[in-house]
């Protein structure tokens, strides 16, 4: 997604500088369309649902490790191909050829597969990208689409549709902070039910056999909110006891202007017990010591400041209004084995003011840890300091700059909680927690932050943005698996200035780290060919990526043998084995899916029998032996 990412970064920076489904109700308890199939027939009743939850949520489990206790099958045969987003061609047209919709991971339970299917209508723009000028089309008209959850069951070697449940959920309003990146709709499998995000911060509790609503859970029935502007923001998560946790945000009314350039109204972390009892806590209560909503927070230098940055060795950028604390839009709470809930907060108007938040099961705050000024690897490390004899060296900090600072702020580097990202916390086997945030000074990349179970900052690793790390436990220890893309963009600026020269395209790695964030190995993308599958099944390819392709995942999957499964923008599913050292470029198996496509990063799942469930261009593919 590097080319569109580059455009997004420029537009977001400009915006920052300038400012910074069927509807259902409580009375409709039969929401959901059972389009049946049952035993494979066109109108039979659904088969009884499995009750063997396996890949239940974002990252497979409450800790979001992305790891399963079975061996994955080989990427040999395509076992299924199901279209779940029929609007991909239109969505790509509106984004200049890329696909910037975030999709959920397939939920796997015995023989059943639960996944999102989009219906309704897509409102096309009169001319591509006119939504960026305010036209009510494309991402500005997400509300005309319907997000459904479907249940398919394996019957005689084929997936057969049992039912489709139409939710009234809609994505948070598009605007400056999202810039067309469609947020994720992500249910969770718990307590013998499927919990599905709904409108106004509510959740539908869906019977897994019938596909009908068993309850419509509204945590805000006794609270006055602006329901049309209140959204389930990010995936639902479940702990080992069946308690459901998720984030909700209430935005300023869209009729008054872009809600991302005006303060949010409120935000909550919500808990639903297996008995459907609800409790909530506001983010303001979780972060009482955060800067006030109308206070001033750190800004960054602008195009009005002379390059290279910092503009002088003592320069301080102008401050910006903070805005209220609220969750990152696609954050799925993670739950440790001791019940601690981890979520991520940010100032609504300043993504640099972010926190990791540890919450007790009773929704009282356990600790908070700031992501600000944690990094000392800016100028002189990731970004060279220009020598005195070449003060305008491209992609360099100003000569004489303090070593270690972020050139865009002249302060030590901070993690940004970006709403276009789908990064979520991962709890490690030793109780520490990881979160991948974007940063300003490493070429549209970010840093993976590690905090111990008491909130003490331990270390960080510079990596590719928008990724929840996976974890492989082995030999009494563990390893961390991440996407590690290097993007074709300026190192810290994207203005039309020689200082802001584009970095090379790539390299693109899957990287494995030890518990101390040291590299164990890197797998390099070496394929150069963009391919597409023709109607007759043959491939047409052209060699147009001399430095390889981005890894197109926001969450890897890891099997019991430590094999790592990852999608690539070259359209292939890769199976990467353990047992290597250094940089290596030979995968045990590769399976081409459908289309080489620049896309928002996409998760994949491994089933209880080792089948591989992956996604490409709005298709769900199942791959195996």
Q: What is Dmax (Cα atoms) for the chain?
A: 79
pLDDT value at residue 98: 87
Buried b or exposed e, range 317-329, using 16+ CB within 10 angstroms: beebbbbbbbbbb
Residue 525's contacts (CB-CB under 8 Å, 6 or more residues apart) are 506, 507, 508, 509, 548, 549, 550, 551, 568, 570
Which value, to the nearest 10 degrees, does the dihedral of the CA atoms of residues 472, 613, 604, 583 take?
60
Residue 4: pLDDT over 80: no
* Chain-centre distance for alpha carbon 512: 19
Per-residue confidence band for 319, with pLDDT thresholds at 50, 70 and 90: very high
* Angstrom distances, CA of residue 22 to CA of 35, 163, 209, 243: 15, 15, 20, 27
pLDDT value at residue 538: 84
| Domains, the chain, with CATH or none | 2-624 (2.130.10.10)
Q: How far apart are CA 430 and CA 529, in angstroms?
A: 41
Residue 335: pLDDT over 80: yes
* Chain-centre distance for alpha carbon 486: 18
In this structure, what token pair is assigned to residue 281? 């806590």
Per-residue confidence band for 536, with pLDDT thresholds at 50, 70 and 90: confident
Per-residue confidence band for 611, with pLDDT thresholds at 50, 70 and 90: very high
Q: What is the mean pLDDT of residues 274-300?
A: 97
Residue 11: pLDDT over 60: no
pLDDT value at residue 37: 53
Residue 34: pLDDT over 60: no
pLDDT tens readout for residues 491-513: 999 999 999 999 999 999 999 99
pLDDT tens readout for residues 191-241: 999 999 999 999 999 999 999 999 999 999 999 999 999 999 999 999 999
Q: What is the mean pLDDT of residues 379-399?
A: 97
Q: What is the mean pLDDT of residues 365-370?
A: 98
Q: Give the range among 115-124, 281-290, 332-341, 573-582 with minimum mean pLDDT.
A: 573-582
Per-residue confidence band for 17, with pLDDT thresholds at 50, 70 and 90: very low
Say which residue, 9 or 58, is predicted with more confidence. Answer: 58
Handedness of CA 487, 492, 496, 502 (dihedral sign): negative
pLDDT value at residue 547: 93
Per-residue confidence band for 13, with pLDDT thresholds at 50, 70 and 90: very low
Say which residue, 28 or 619, is predicted with more confidence. Answer: 619
Q: Decide if 35 contacts 526 (C-beta within 8 A).
A: no
Say which residue, 201 or 41, is predicted with more confidence. Answer: 201
Q: What is the mean pLDDT of residues 127-135?
A: 93
Q: Give the range among 302-316, 426-440, 523-537, 594-608 with minimum mean pLDDT.
A: 594-608
pLDDT value at residue 36: 53
Residue 345: pLDDT over 70: yes
pLDDT value at residue 92: 93
pLDDT tens readout for residues 452-492: 999 999 999 999 889 999 999 999 999 999 999 999 999 99
Residue 610's contacts (CB-CB under 8 Å, 6 or more residues apart) are 70, 71, 72, 73, 559, 624, 625
Residue 376: pLDDT over 70: yes
Count of residues for the chain? 625
Percent residues over pLDDT 70 in the chain: 92
Query: How high is the mean pLDDT of the chain?
Result: 91
Q: How far apart are CA 500 and CA 490, in angstroms?
A: 5
Q: How far apart are CA 244 and CA 234, in angstroms?
A: 13
Residue 529's contacts (CB-CB under 8 Å, 6 or more residues apart) are 541, 542, 543, 544, 545, 570, 596
Per-residue confidence band for 595, with pLDDT thresholds at 50, 70 and 90: low
DSSP letter for 595, please: B
Per-residue confidence band for 590, with pLDDT thresholds at 50, 70 and 90: confident
Q: What is the mean pLDDT of residues 577-593?
A: 75
Say which residue, 44 or 384, is predicted with more confidence. Answer: 384
Per-residue confidence band for 19, with pLDDT thresholds at 50, 70 and 90: very low
Q: What is the mean pLDDT of residues 323-339?
A: 98
Q: What is the mean pLDDT of residues 335-359?
A: 98
Q: How far apart are CA 181 and CA 568, in angstroms?
A: 19
Residue 108, Cβ density class (10 Å: 0-12 exposed, 13-18 middle, ≥19 buried): buried
pTM for this prediction: 0.93
Strand ranges of the sheet holding 619-624, from the earlier edge strand across to the other edge: 77-83, 619-624, 612-616, 605-606
Can you name the residues that pair with 205 across neighbouring β-strands? 195, 215
Percent residues over pLDDT 90 in the chain: 83
Peptide bond into 132 cis (omega under 30): no
H or E stretch at 55: strand 53-55
pLDDT value at residue 297: 97
pLDDT tens readout for residues 418-465: 999 999 999 999 999 999 999 999 999 999 999 999 999 999 999 988
């Amino acid at each position: 997604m590097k080319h569109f990412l580059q455009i997004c970064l420029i537009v977001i920076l400009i915006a920052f500088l300038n400012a910074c489904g069927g509807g259902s109700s409580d009375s409709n308890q039969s929401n959901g369309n059972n389009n049946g199939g049952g035993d494979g027939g066109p109108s039979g009743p659904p088969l009884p649902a499995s009750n063997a939850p396996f890949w239940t949520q974002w990252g497979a489990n409450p800790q979001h490790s992305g790891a399963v206790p079975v061996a994955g099958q080989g990427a040999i045969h395509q076992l299924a191909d199901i279209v779940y987003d029929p609007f991909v061609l239109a969505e790509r047209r509106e984004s200049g050829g890329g696909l910037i919709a975030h999709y959920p991971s397939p939920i796997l339970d015995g023989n059943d597969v639960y996944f999102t299917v989009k219906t309704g209508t897509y409102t096309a723009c009169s001319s591509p990208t006119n939504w960026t000028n305010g036209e009510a089309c494309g991402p500005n008209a997400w509300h005309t689409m319907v997000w459904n959850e479907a249940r398919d069951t394996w019957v005689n070697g084929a997936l057969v549709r049992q039912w489709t449940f139409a939710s009234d959920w809609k994505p948070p309003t598009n605007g400056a902070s999202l810039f067309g990146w469609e947020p994720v709709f992500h249910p969770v499998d718990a307590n013998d039910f499927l919990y599905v995000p709904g409108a106004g911060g509510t959740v539908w509790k869906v019977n897994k056999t019938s596909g009908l609503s068993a309850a419509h859970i509204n945590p805000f029935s006794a609270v006055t909110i602006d329901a049309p502007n209140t959204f389930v923001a990010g995936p639902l998560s479940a702990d080992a006891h069946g308690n459901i946790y998720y984030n909700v945000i209430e935005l300023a009314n869209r009729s008054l202007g872009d809600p991302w350039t005006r303060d949010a109204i409120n935000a909550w972390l919500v808990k639903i017990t297996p008995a459907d009892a609800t409790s909530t806590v506001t983010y303001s209560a979780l972060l009482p010591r955060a800067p006030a909503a109308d206070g001033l927070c750190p800004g960054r230098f602008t195009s009005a400041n002379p390059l290279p940055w910092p503009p002088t060795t003592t320069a301080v950028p102008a401050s910006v209004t903070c805005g209220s604390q609220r969750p990152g839009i696609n954050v799925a709470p993670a739950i440790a084995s001791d019940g601690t809930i981890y979520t991520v907060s940010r100032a609504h108007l300043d993504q640099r003011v972010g926190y990791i938040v540890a919450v007790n099961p009773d929704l009282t705050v356990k600790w908070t840890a700031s992501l600000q000024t944690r990094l000392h690897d800016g100028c002189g490390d990731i970004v060279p300091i220009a020598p005195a004899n070449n003060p305008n060296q491209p992609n360099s900090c100003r000569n004489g700059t303090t070593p270690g600072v972020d050139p865009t702020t002249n302060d030590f580097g901070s993690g940004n909680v970006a709403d276009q990202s789908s990064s979520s916390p991962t709890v490690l086997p030793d109780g520490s927690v990881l979160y991948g945030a974007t940063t300003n000074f490493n070429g549209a990349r970010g840093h993976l932050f590690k905090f111990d179970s008491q909130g003490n900052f331990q270390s960080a690793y510079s990596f590719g943005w928008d990724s929840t790390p996976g974890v492989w436990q082995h030999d009494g220890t563990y390893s961390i698996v991440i996407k590690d893309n290097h993007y074709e963009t300026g190192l810290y600026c994207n203005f039309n200035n020689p200082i802001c020269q584009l970095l090379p395209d790539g390299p693109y790695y899957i990287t494995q780290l030890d518990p101390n964030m040291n590299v164990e190995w890197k797998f390099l993308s070496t394929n150069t060919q963009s391919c597409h599958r023709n109607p007759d099944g043959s491939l047409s390819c052209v060699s147009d990526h001399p430095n390889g392709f981005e890894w197109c995942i926001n969450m890897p999957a890891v099997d019991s043998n430590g094999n790592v499964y990852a999608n690539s923008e070259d359209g292939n599913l890769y199976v990467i084995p353990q047992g290597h050292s250094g940089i290596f470029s030979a995968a045990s198996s590769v399976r081409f899916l459908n289309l080489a496509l620049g896309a928002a990063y996409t998760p994949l799942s491994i089933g209880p029998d080792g089948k591989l469930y992956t996604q490409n261009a709005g298709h769900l593919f199942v791959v195996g032996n």
